[in-house]
């Protein structure tokens, strides 16, 4: 989990390859109305997110082992994502606003404009008990840190 530009997809895919686990990208599950809102620069509200989070939870329930790349900025979102799952671990990919703003500006996300990054930082409720990873380090170092803390 983490704000836009934190490396959820890049690190999640790399970790998935190493562990042999499927990587799920939460962005692929957004309904068209959510995508349109974000593309227009409008932050999503909780009522926009609940059905999407429920769909993600259902997708996770179908997997034996999986990695989900999702912003999951609030504790209530993380609770909804992990509801009913036996082993649900949170990895918080964190970085400075300056670093992540630079990354978000340099890339072209299919619907998440860099202008929404501040709203994500504002909404972020840092998770308690999560694996904390500073994304200023290399992807390989991030993956190695996550693996070590997962016990593998």
pTM: 0.88
Q: Say if CB 13 and CB 90 are below 8 A apart.
A: no
From CA 65, how far away is CA 60, in angstroms rounded? Answer: 8
* Residues in contact with 101: Cβ distance below 8 Å, sequence separation at least 6, in sequence order: 5, 114, 117
What is the 8-class DSSP label of residue 67? E
From CA 152, how far away is CA 124, in angstroms rounded? Answer: 28
Q: Say if CB 24 and CB 59 are below 8 A apart.
A: yes
| CATH number, domain 8-150, options 1.10.8.60, 1.10.3720.10, 3.20.20.70, 3.40.50.300 | 3.40.50.300
Please give the pLDDT value at position 29. Answer: 95
Please give the pLDDT value at position 101. Answer: 83
User: Which residue ranges make up each domain of the chain?
Assistant: 8-150
Beta strands per DSSP E along the chain: 22-25, 66-69, 91-94, 131-134
User: What token pair was written down for 47?
Assistant: 């009522």
Burial 65-94 (b: 16+ CB within 10 A, else e): ebbbbbbbbeeebbebbbeeeeeeebbbbb
Per-block mean pLDDT, blocks of 10 residues, the chain (152 long): 92 97 95 87 88 96 96 96 96 93 70 66 93 97 96 72
Report the Cα–Cα distance between both ends of the chain, in Å, rounded: 20
């Amino acid at each position: 989990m983490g704000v836009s530009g934190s490396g959820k997809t890049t690190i999640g895919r790399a970790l998935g390859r190493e562990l042999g686990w499927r990587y799920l990208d939460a962005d692929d599950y957004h309904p068209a109305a959510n995508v349109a809102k974000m593309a227009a620069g409008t932050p999503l509200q909780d009522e926009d997110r609940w059905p999407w989070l429920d769909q993600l939870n259902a997708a996770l329930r179908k997997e034996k082992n999986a990695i989900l790349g999702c912003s999951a900025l609030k504790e209530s979102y993380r609770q909804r994502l992990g509801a009913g799952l036996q082993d649900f671990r949170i990895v918080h990919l964190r970085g400075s606003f300056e670093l992540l703003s630079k990354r978000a500006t340099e890339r072209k996300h299919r619907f998440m404009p860099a202008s929404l990054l501040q709203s994500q930082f504002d909404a972020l409720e840092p998770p308690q008990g999560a694996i904390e990873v500073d994304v200023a380090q290399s992807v390989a170092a991030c993956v190695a840190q996550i693996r070590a803390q997962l016990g593998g």
